[in-house]
């Protein structure tokens, strides 16, 4: 796809599809950094891509740029200590978000260990930011029988919003520092940015956490769905919405809005895959179009409404993102940007999508789907996460 520049509310936005567009641009911007680099990633792998990004980070630190990398302790658990040590020896500061990992437990008192940092953010010099769903890992899955990359997106933002992204990342860095060292980390040469949300802007950073922003991204989706008049297109890697979200989509279809939902065609996580299958009948009956993406794994977390509202980020419409994880999405009100994203999604569906037909699954598959859905709902209920959903 052509990387068009969209100028919206004092920002230049470029939609980047997959790692082929994202990683070279990220490394180039890190290579041009003069003062600071922040990077957050749920997964940071020590593969070819991880080494390329790691080299860019080390080179920036070695020339005097302040570089800070925050990794999730579960998502990046397989990153070798030697890799992290190499970053630190070059001057890169590395911290872990909840590195303690315990066996799965249903104890509410230990729920904090299931709360992960799922954001994929980067900001360079407070002037250029990246927001999306792409982890630092090669996006062509290894040891599988297909060679297409995971379908995913990120947005490069140059302008006012980058300062807000840095402030958000800096705040979390300091929170992790406080938790790890029981004292505040003094700033040494870092420019401080105040967080100034601009609710009236056409470009917004929307967060999800477990304190003040528990439902902000979900509400952004629900508000856009409620206002939809013509078309809703959602592509989501792990689509398992709560009752409120599901009901909103069904109501939209009932008032004549075309509703398109793109989900995984390849089975990545069996429990979640089969639980999603349990929703097909209800959605299809309501007139929702469901497409399965089959070229590779679908990792996108994006949506477009009426060709004017769009979101790109890390937020899945599933219990993990709805109730547990720290997430970050970009919301854009702009016909040009939304049109680019929607056109790209529909082109991908035409090439590699398979429309789901009613009652196409076998009886054993339907039974497995209902059992998987019931198990997921049971887990959510036991954890006390299903209130009002």
Nearest to 331 by CA among 182, 219, 238, 193: 219
Tokens at residue 323, please?
A: 């109730």
Band (pLDDT 50/70/90 cuts) for residue 219 is very high
Q: How many CB atoms lie within 10 A of CB 57?
A: 26
Average pLDDT over residues 261-271: 79
Residue 388: how many other CB atoms lie within 10 Å = 7
Cα separation, 376 vs 366, whole angstroms: 15
Using the predicted structure, report yes or no on whether residue 280 has a pLDDT greater than 70.
yes
Q: Residues 18, 147: contact at Cβ < 8 Å?
A: no
Please report the pLDDT score of residue 196 as a whole number. Answer: 53
pLDDT, position 192: 47
**Between these two residues, 187 and 302, which has the higher pLDDT value?**
302
pLDDT per residue as tens digits for the range 223-244 = 999 999 999 999 998 898 888 9
Catalytic residues: 118, 120, 125, 299, 301, 306
pLDDT score at 142: 73
What is the pLDDT, as a whole number, of residue 281? Answer: 85
DSSP 177-208: HHHHHSSPPPPSSPPP------TTSSEEEEEE
The whole-number pLDDT of residue 190 equals 47
- How does pLDDT run across 106-143, given as a tens digit for each residue? 444 445 556 899 999 999 999 999 999 999 999 987 77
Is residue 148 within 8 A of residue 296, CB to CB? The reply is: yes
- Please give the mean pLDDT across all residues of the chain: 86
Q: CA 110 to CA 113: how far, in whole Å?
A: 6
Tell me the per-residue pLDDT of 158-215, one tens digit each, with 9 for 90 and over.
999 999 999 999 999 999 988 766 444 444 444 444 455 566 689 999 999 888 898 9
Taking residue 9's Cβ as centre, other Cβ atoms within 10 Å add up to 17
Task: Compute CA distances 5 → 14, 15, 153, 196, 370, whole Å.
Answer: 5, 8, 15, 24, 45
**Residues 320-374: pLDDT tens digits?**
787 789 999 999 999 999 999 999 999 999 999 999 987 666 656 666 666 656 5
Inter-axis angle of helices 216-227 and 243-254, nearest 10: 10
In degrees and rounded to multiples of 5, residue 104 shows phi and psi of: -55, 135
Which tokens in the block code for residue 98? Answer: 């909840």
Average pLDDT over residues 92-103: 82
What pLDDT, on the 0 to 100 scale, is given for residue 108?
Answer: 47
For residue 184, what are the CA distances in angstroms to 67, 107, 187? 18, 30, 9
- Strand order, beta sheet including 153-159: 5-8, 11-17, 153-159, 128-132, 121-124, 36-41, 66-72, 93-97
Q: What are the structural domains of the chain?
A: 5-181 (3.30.870.10), 203-382 (3.30.870.10)
Distance of CA 18 to the CA centre of its chain: 13
Contact between 97 and 75 under an 8 Å Cβ cutoff? The reply is no
Angle of CA points 193, 26, 85, to nearest 5°: 85
pLDDT of the residue at 258: 97
For residues 369-383, give the mean pLDDT: 58
Q: Residue 112's pLDDT is what?
A: 56
Tokens of 321: 């993102």
Q: Render pLDDT for 40-58 as a digit per residue (tens, 0 to 9).
A: 999 999 999 999 999 999 9
Confidence of residue 102 (pLDDT cuts 50, 70, 90): low
Range name among 178-192, 254-268, 280-294, 308-322 with the lowest pLDDT average? 178-192
pLDDT tier for residue 319 given thresholds of 50, 70 and 90: confident
């Amino acid at each position: 796809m052509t990387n068009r520049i969209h100028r919206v509310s004092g920002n230049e936005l470029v939609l980047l599809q997959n790692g082929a567009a994202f990683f070279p641009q990220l490394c180039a911007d890190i290579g041009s950094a003069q003062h600071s680099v922040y990077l957050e990633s749920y997964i940071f792998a020590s593969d070819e891509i991880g080494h390329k990004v790691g080299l860019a980070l080390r080179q920036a630190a070695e020339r005097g740029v302040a570089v800070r990398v925050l990794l999730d302790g579960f998502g990046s658990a397989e990153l070798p200590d030697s890799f992290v040590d190499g970053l630190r020896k070059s001057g890169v500061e590395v911290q872990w978000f909840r590195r303690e990992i315990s066996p799965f437990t249903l104890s509410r008192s230990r729920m904090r260990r299931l709360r992960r940092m799922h954001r994929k953010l980067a900001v360079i010099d407070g002037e250029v930011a990246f927001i999306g769903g792409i982890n630092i890992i090669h996006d062509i899955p290894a040891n599988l029988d297909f060679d297409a990359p995971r379908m995913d997106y990120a947005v490069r933002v140059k302008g006012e919003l980058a300062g807000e992204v840095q402030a958000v990342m800096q705040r979390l860095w300091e929170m992790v520092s406080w938790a790890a060292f029981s004292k505040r980390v003094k700033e040494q040469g870092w420019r401080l940015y105040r967080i100034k949300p601009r609710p009236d802007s056409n470009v917004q950073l929307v967060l999800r956490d477990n304190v003040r922003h528990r439902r902000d991204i979900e509400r952004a989706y629900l508000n856009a769905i409620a206002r939809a008049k013509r078309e809703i297109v959602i592509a989501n890697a792990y689509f398992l919405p709560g009752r409120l979200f599901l009901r909103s989509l069904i109501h939209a279809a009932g008032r004549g809005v075309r509703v398109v939902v793109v989900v995984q065609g390849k089975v990545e996580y069996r429990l979640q895959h089969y639980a999603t299958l349990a929703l097909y009948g209800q959605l299809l009956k309501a007139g929702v179009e469901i497409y399965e993406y089959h070229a590779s794994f679908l990792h996108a977390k994006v949506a477009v409404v009426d060709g004017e509202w769009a979101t790109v980020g890390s937020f899945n419409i599933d219990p993990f993102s709805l109730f547990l994880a720290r997430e970050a999405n970009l919301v854009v009100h702009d016909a040009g940007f939304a049109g680019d994203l929607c056109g790209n999604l529909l082109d991908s569906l035409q090439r590699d999508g398979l429309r789901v037909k009613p009652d196409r699954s076998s009886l054993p598959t339907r039974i497995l789907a209902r059992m998987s859905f019931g198990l997921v709902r049971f887990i959510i209920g036991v954890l006390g996460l299903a209130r009002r959903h």
